[in-house]
Chain A
Amino acid sequence: MPYKTIIGLEIHSELLTDSKIFCDCSTEFGGDVNTHTCPVCLGLPGALPVLNKKVVEYGIKAGLAFNCEISERTKMDRKNYFYPDLVKGYQISQYDMPLCQNGYVEIETEDGVKKIRLRRIHIEEDTGKSIHSEDGGSLLDYNRSGVPLIEIVTEPDMNSPEEAKLFLEKLKSILQYIEVSDCKMEEGSLRCDVNINIVDEETGKRSTITELKNLNSFKAAVKAMEYEEERHKKLLEEGKDTRRETRRWDELKNETIVMRVKEEVSDYRYFPEPDIVEMEIDREWVEEIRKELPELPHVKKERFIEQYDLPEYDAEVLTSSKALADFFEETIRYFDDSKQVSNWIMGDISRRLNMENIGIEDVSFTAKDLADLLKLIDEGKISNKIGKKVLRAMFEEGKDPNTIVKEKGLIQISDEGELKKIVDKVLSENQQSVEDYKNGKDRALGFLVGQVMKATRGKANPQLANKLIRESIQ
């Protein structure tokens, strides 16, 4: 295979500041249209931007987490273009003096650790949103106008869609860890544009770069990149080339579709924003921010392996999201069998989260609730199987496990006398199976235990039931 894929990414991530980048308006998602607005974020004549210090702080935080150099001097610039959702006819962004430069993110590929270099991280404002009405008209909502963003630009260091996915996952996880962005792609708080092309390693011939935009999930991004990889190869093999164009992923057709062909490079006529003075970034401030950085995923993972004696895979999964890692550690505080806690989180809980496409932070029960559940199982008060049932109820009803067990009468029957009565009844009703067991068919025992469990609606202590049946038949 002489072809090598070259992928570079541009990621826009909304910052979690309370107010917008240049005014006091709320950044909260949702809200009635055009309610989080003021003269500044509506770009009314005469209104002026004042930079929110928190935005610079969050930008620096991201820069430090991604191993960037933090610029000593930085400024804002105007990027000029006309678009209805752009209120001033220009976006206030950063051009030649970005806040952060020359960083990297390490990803773990099958061939080991790989460094993906970051060219720059800069701060800028988001635009409003067009809403297309059914009668063909357009309505505009400017609640997002002026919400702070960081734009992260990588070097073209990824050589497969898989690497790009690993990078995106790592990036998202770090942004969430340092709590500068919630990275919700469905709410548009994380957006990713891809630049992709391929090079024929024998001849050195390169296909023209395609830009992929409007990718609304990592999955869509990966599919689009895989599609483009093949498309570029096919064209090169035919002796043709790709065009300089922007494409998007069509989920239904399972292919990328041309959005626009770039005939020439757009000229944004960047120039320094005269309404905001050039900034000097205080080194002491940067050091303070550095000190306050939380433990980052890879450090936490090593600690989990060490401290909780977890396999590498478990540690990787548990630290993939800060919320999940925090939940794990919180559970351990109340129930210290780390392997057991890990199994439950990685098993039933993760399955349920994936199914519902939510995060651990969205569930209605607490880490202490999970610990209580595991204690009930550990103490033999309920069986593992009943435990799973209780967990389901915790997801659905949000009650604590002790209440659920009490309300539903799920406490295990471990009283020999009580269980003996039920065993006797089951045996008398299933004479054939008793005979079978006597004739050496071991499977019959399983059936009989099952019948006892059924009669007790799962509450019988299975070990005890097993013992009592064997004793009765012999």
Chain B
Amino acid sequence: MDITKLTIHELRDMLRKGEISSEEIVKAYFDRIEETEAKLNSFISLNKEEAIKSAREIDKRLKNGEKLGDLAGIPVAIKDNIVTEGVKTTCGSKILENFVPPYDATVVKKLKDEGAIIVGKTNLDEFAMGSSTENSAYKTTKNPWDLERVPGGSSGGSASAVAAGQVPFALGSETGGSVRQPASFCGVVGLKPTYGLVSRYGLVAFASSLDQIGPFTKDVEDCAIALNSITGYDSKDSTSINREKIDYKEALVNDVKGLKIALPKEYFDDSIDAEVKNKVYEAIKVLEDLGATVEEVSLPHTEYALATYYIIAPSEASSNLARFDGVRYGNRVKDYDSVEDLFVKTRSQGFGEEVKRRIMVGTYALSSGYYDEYYRKAQRVRTLIKQDFEKVFENYDVIISPTTPTTAFKIGEKATDPVSMYLSDILTVSVNMAGICGMSIPCGYANDLPVGLQIIGNAFEEKKVLRVAYTYEQNSNFERKQPKIGE
């Protein structure tokens, strides 16, 4: 039996039955990491000693007969823009090369409280700005299905780690599709929760009104388990919503009879790869055969989503990234003549090209004289996009589409053309703009590369999304493969 091919719920069951120890699990995953990491570059830092120590503690507690949660003793990887007390958090940027946060993000604290074992911090596009993980200042993560291809981004490290069996699950973050897109490229399950469902406290902000932390898992059941552990009101995040705690495992129902599925025609247009569309249509057929009704709808403002996103996100980013000035933490240049000089040189040398590009765009869009034309107008369009979804959800339970226009592209293919890179998020950004939830699950392969099925739900309708995903997963008829990495 290969431990690293198991899911959270399988590992949990074995742990509870005493068939395996957490220490054995953690060690098996570290062996897998050692075997594959040189090829994949999923991690920025690893935490082996601490992880094994924590695993032993969990084993002790299990032996004492303590009743522990689903994640007790289960390894997890954390995207390196989520702060971890005492463990370096770089955001994939030079400017935070040696930054060791003095506190844990709320999600990290929740995972630790549940007994999950943090094995390391995963690679990402610098400050989560990118769709390929090529923008990391440290390394380029590879797609486990094809090492010449990108894993997607910005949470590419987390997606790659789960796909390659380096961890059973990982946390990523989304601003415009950074969980769903890499999940799709790497053939794993990825969820972007409703804005406000998961605390952002300790997530290094890219665009505050869009950012949300989400899990990568191997299957839908694991996704529900992971979601259970990270959701909940947090008094440290004013945008976190105070509502009754939901058990997402209740959503694992193999039944979609009577559910109404909407297919937005804008998400199936000619810019979407035909093979990708075919796989998605096959998946929809499965759901239809199980009793769901499927109808075409329109989300008329879709064509403005990307442009709007690329005003709002950089605007907020330009402000959020102002704190990295070399004064209090992070890298600081050695030679400078004045405080201004210190700021300019530290930021010029500390930030990469894409980050600088977005800071420039955002600064421009917020400038007096341009604010009304760009930022304010973008906020209005954002409202229209939101209303598009609201209208559809009046009559439908979920929206289904491809997650990405294509399968994983080649490393370097889009690196010099920002706009074509931005287009890979065209099917995911609207969900962030509307603050609703979305999920990507594998639905087959095109040219041996995974294709992702996107299921979008209204705000706080994660249960419906999980139910559709679970039903599809239980009834899907494509032959599941494993990436060949390390074999």
A90 to B89 Cα, complex, angstroms: 22
Contact in complex: A89, B328 (CB < 8 Å): no
Q: Which residues of chain A from 88 to 107 have any CB-CB distance to chain B below 8 Å in the complex? A: 88-90
What is the CA–CA distance of A27 and B214 in the complex, to the nearest angstrom? 36
Interface presence of B103 (CB below 8 A): yes
- Report the bound CA distance from A39 to B102 in whole Å: 8
Our pick among B82, B204, B319, B328 for the contact of A271 (Cβ within 8 Å) is: B319
Q: Does B281 contact A (CB under 8 A)?
A: no
* CB pair A267 B82 closer than 8 Å: no
**Do residues B363 and A44 form an inter-chain contact, with CB atoms below 8 A?**
no
Q: Are B328 and A78 in contact (CB under 8 A)?
A: no
Q: Please determine whether A51 and B323 come into contact, CB atoms closer than 8 angstroms.
A: no
The complex places the Cα of A246 from the Cα of B113 at a distance, in Å, of: 54
State the CA gap A275–B103 with chains docked (Å).
19
Distance of A473 Cα from B102 Cα, bound (Å)? 90
Instruction: Please tell me if B83 contacts chain A, counting CB pairs below 8 Å.
Output: yes
Is chain A's interface secondary structure helix, strand, loop, or mixed overall?
Answer: loop
Across-interface contacts of B477 in A (CB, < 8 A): none
- Whether a CB of chain B sits under 8 angstroms from the CB of A33 is no
Are B99 and A87 touching (Cβ within 8 A)?
A: no
B142 to chain A, nearest CB (A): 27
With contact pairs A87-B328, A89-B325 given, residues A46 and B101 touching in the complex (Cβ less than 8 Å): yes
Q: Which of B10-18, B115-123, B176-184, B367-375 lies on the face that meets chain A?
A: B367-375
Does the CB pair A45–B316 fall under 8 Å?
A: no
Q: Whose C-beta in chain B lies nearest to the C-beta of A83? A: B339
Q: Which residues between 90 and 126 of chain B lie within 8 Å of chain A, taking CB atoms? A: 91, 96, 99, 101-103, 105
Q: Does A29 contact B (CB under 8 A)?
A: no
Closest approach, in angstroms, between the C-beta of B242 and any C-beta of chain A?
A: 12
Q: In this complex, which of A45, A82, A89 has the most chain B Cβ atoms within 10 angstroms of its Cβ?
A: A45
Is A80 a contact partner of B82 (Cβ separation < 8 A)? no
Question: With contacts A50-B236, A275-B208 known, is A267 near B322, CB below 8 A?
Answer: no
Q: Is the CB of A274 within 8 A of B329?
A: no
B239 in contact with A277 (CB, 8 Å): yes
Cβ A80 vs Cβ B235 within 8 A: no
Interface: A219 (CB within 8 A): no
Contact of B101 with A271 in the complex, beta carbons under 8 Å: no
The answer to whether A271 and B371 touch across the interface, beta carbons within 8 angstroms, is yes
A-B contact count (CB 8 A): 103
Please measure, in the bound complex, the distance between the C-alpha atom of A51 and the C-alpha atom of B235, giving whole angstroms: 11
Q: Is A267 within 8 A of B328, CB to CB?
A: no
Partner of B202, one of A46, A88, A138: A46
Within 8 Å CB of A78, what residues of B? 319
Residue A235 at the B interface, CB < 8 A? no
Closest CB of chain B to A470's CB: distance in Å?
81
Interface string of A265-306 (1 = CB under 8 A from B): 101011100111100000000000000000000000000000
Interface flag for A359 (CB, 8 Å): no
A380 located at the interface, meaning its Cβ lies under 8 Å from any Cβ of chain B in the complex: no
A48 in contact with B236 (CB, 8 Å): yes
Bound Cα distance from A47 to B318, whole angstroms: 17
Select from chain A the residue with minimum beta-carbon distance to B237.
Answer: A48
B238 CB within 8 Å of chain A? yes
B238 adjacent to A48 (CB under 8 Å): yes
Is A60 positioned at the interface, with any CB of B under 8 Å from its CB? no
Report B-chain residues with C-beta under 8 Å of the C-beta of A204: none
A83–B338 Cα gap in the complex (Å)? 12
Residue of B nearest to A79 (CB): B319
CB-based contact B99/A45 at 8 Å: yes
Residues 370-419 of B contacting A (Cβ, < 8 Å)? 371, 375
Smallest CB gap from B127: residue in A: A45
* Docked-complex contact A140 and B367, CB < 8 angstroms: no
Q: Within the complex, what minimum Cβ distance (angstroms) separates B214 from chain A? A: 16
Q: Does A387 contact B (CB under 8 A)?
A: no
Q: Check B83 against A46 for contact (C-beta < 8 Å).
A: yes
Task: Please determine whether A43 and B323 come into contact, CB atoms closer than 8 angstroms.
Answer: yes
339-380 of chain B: CB within 8 A of chain A:
339-340, 343, 363, 366-368, 371, 375
Contact A275 B238 (CB under 8 A): yes
5 smallest CB-CB distances across A and B, nearest first, come from: A89-B322, A274-B208, A269-B366, A274-B209, A46-B202
Further pairs besides A42-B328, A275-B208: 17, Cβ < 8 Å: A44-B103, A45-B96, A45-B205, A46-B105, A46-B205, A47-B103, A48-B201, A80-B366, A82-B322, A84-B325, A89-B321, A90-B319, A138-B339, A269-B318, A269-B368, A274-B208, A277-B239
Query: Can you give 15 contacting A-B residue pairs, CB < 8 Å?
Result: A39-B101, A39-B102, A44-B101, A44-B103, A44-B329, A45-B205, A45-B323, A48-B201, A50-B235, A50-B238, A88-B322, A89-B325, A269-B368, A270-B366, A274-B239
